[in-house]
């Protein structure tokens, strides 16, 4: 009798159109909630493990939202998208069983939806605050209070998705969340060196920057990975040991963590080879007898220490001279092979590169800054070393009768 009755029911279902799609006992739908930073709305999705072009979401289907009790005690404004007209059908605020939370049962009268296995479908959206509020989540059927719990007054907030074409079978399975949680923001990253738009003579510059602490950083150029590293607890990261040939370069970096992947950071820089010469022509160094800082006739090196040296000092390393060269008899000097940078030049009476004190007893024995940049030098004004003795020559007074 039971078998015969079952056959009759199958025939009737086929006759009225309910049997047009094969029912699979394992059909399940998982549910998630997301926060849309553009619309500032919360979105509730279903993700089926089956495909059905006309799945009947049953009347009474409910997906419950849990809010922190600090949220105002009002019904949620729900916007329906798929699965029928959804509304905040039941609410309980700070029940004795869980006074830190409010519970909202969002229910629908049902409708047909097209489901594709593994693809999320948006059921409805709702708004609470203008920013993502930690603590908003979906009801957990296994751990949240039941209808008999104190303060719930028999209200059942369990998630339920009815299969209208299969006698209302519950196909809800579980909740899932994006990595990092509802309000987790994607990590951020920046490249600080080499600075964007700069030129360097260093063919092995360190690429470094900042990122979300402990996120995984990948830096590359033109599809080639330069390094993979992890930002430290302070958010610093660096990538070294790479050689960049002469020419322009574009280096990019991204970082990732449980919340997602960052936007791409970019820096553009140029590597140049070759060095710069810094010279002082004839008359650049002289004994300025009249103090006008002009090499007048007869003002040469005469009267100065017998041997003079010009020393060039990189302002980035001011305790040692890069080079020390002899000043020629005509007052000229020349430095070659200087990297890009800012320099000070001094005149001294020795060739020790560890002595960066200008010639004692004379004024104007130091000039700067001299800026070397890819073969071009910008000199200071004045650039001449018009050496003036701190002790003017002693002359006998003129005696009158």
- Mean pLDDT across the chain, nearest whole number? 89
**For residue 388, how many other CB atoms are within 10 A of its CB?**
17
C-alpha 329/C-alpha 308 separation (Å) is 9
Q: State mean pLDDT over 365-373.
A: 92
Strand locations in 274-340 (E): 276-280, 285-287, 309-314, 323-326, 333-338
The model's pLDDT over 339-348, given as tens digits with 9 standing for 90+, comes to: 888 999 999 9
Q: What is the pLDDT of residue 395?
A: 53
The model's pLDDT over 22-53, given as tens digits with 9 standing for 90+, comes to: 444 589 999 999 998 889 999 999 999 999 99
Strands 247-257 and 260-261: antiparallel
Tokens at 351, concatenated = 């060739």
Instruction: Please determine, for residue 97, whether its predicted confidence score (pLDDT) is greater than 90.
Output: yes
The model's pLDDT over 308-346, given as tens digits with 9 standing for 90+, comes to: 999 999 999 899 998 999 999 999 999 988 888 899 999
Q: State mean pLDDT over 177-195.
A: 85
C-alpha 103/C-alpha 110 separation (Å) is 21
Tokens 């203008």 sit on residue: 130
Q: What is the pLDDT of residue 311?
A: 97
C-alpha 387/C-alpha 289 separation (Å) is 8
Q: What is the pLDDT of residue 43?
A: 96
Predicted TM-score (pTM) above 0.75? no
Tokens 């939370």 sit on residue: 101
Q: State mean pLDDT over 238-246.
A: 93
Q: State mean pLDDT over 255-280.
A: 86
């Amino acid at each position: 009798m039971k078998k015969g009755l079952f056959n009759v029911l199958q025939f009737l279902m086929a006759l009225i159109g309910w049997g047009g799609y094969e029912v699979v006992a394992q059909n399940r739908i998982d549910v998630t909630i997301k926060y849309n930073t553009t619309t500032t709305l919360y979105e509730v999705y279903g993700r089926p493990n089956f495909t059905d072009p006309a799945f009947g979401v049953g009347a009474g289907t409910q997906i419950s939202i849990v809010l922190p009790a600090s949220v105002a005690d009002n019904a949620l404004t729900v916007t329906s998208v798929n699965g029928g007209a959804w509304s905040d059908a039941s609410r309980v605020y700070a029940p004795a069983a869980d006074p830190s939370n409010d519970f909202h049962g969002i229910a629908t009268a049902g409708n047909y939806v097209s489901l594709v296995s593994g693809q999320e479908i948006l059921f409805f959206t709702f708004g609470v605050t203008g920013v993502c509020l930690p603590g908003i989540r979906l009801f957990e059927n296994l751990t949240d209070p039941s209808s008999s719990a104190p303060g719930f007054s028999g209200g059942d907030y369990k998630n339920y998705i009815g299969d209208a074409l299969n006698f209302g079978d519950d196909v809800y399975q579980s909740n899932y969340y994006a990595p990092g949680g509802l309000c987790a923001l994607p990590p951020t990253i920046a490249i600080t060196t080499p600075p964007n738009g700069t030129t360097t003579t260093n063919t092995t510059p360190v690429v470094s920057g900042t990122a979300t602490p402990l996120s995984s950083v990948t830096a590359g150029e033109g599809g080639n990975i330069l390094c993979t590293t992890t930002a430290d607890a302070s958010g610093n990261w660096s990538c070294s040991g790479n050689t960049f040939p002469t020419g322009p370069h574009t280096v990019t970096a991204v970082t990732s963590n449980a919340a997602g992947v960052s936007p791409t950071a970019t820096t553009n820089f140029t590597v140049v080879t070759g060095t710069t010469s810094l010279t002082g022509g004839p008359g650049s160094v002289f004994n300025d007898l009249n103090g006008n800082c002009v090499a007048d006739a007869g003002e040469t090196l005469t009267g100065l220490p017998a041997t003079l040296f010009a020393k060039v000092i990189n302002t980035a390393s001011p305790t040692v001279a890069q080079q020390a060269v002899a000043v020629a008899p005509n007052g000229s000097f020349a430095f070659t092979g200087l990297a890009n940078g800012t320099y000070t030049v001094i005149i001294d009476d020795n060739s020790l590169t560890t002595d960066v004190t200008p010639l004692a007893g004379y004024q104007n024995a130091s000039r700067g800054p001299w800026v070397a940049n890819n073969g071009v030098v910008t000199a200071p004004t004045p650039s001449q070393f018009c050496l003036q003795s701190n002790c003017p020559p002693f002359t006998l007074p003129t005696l009158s009768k």
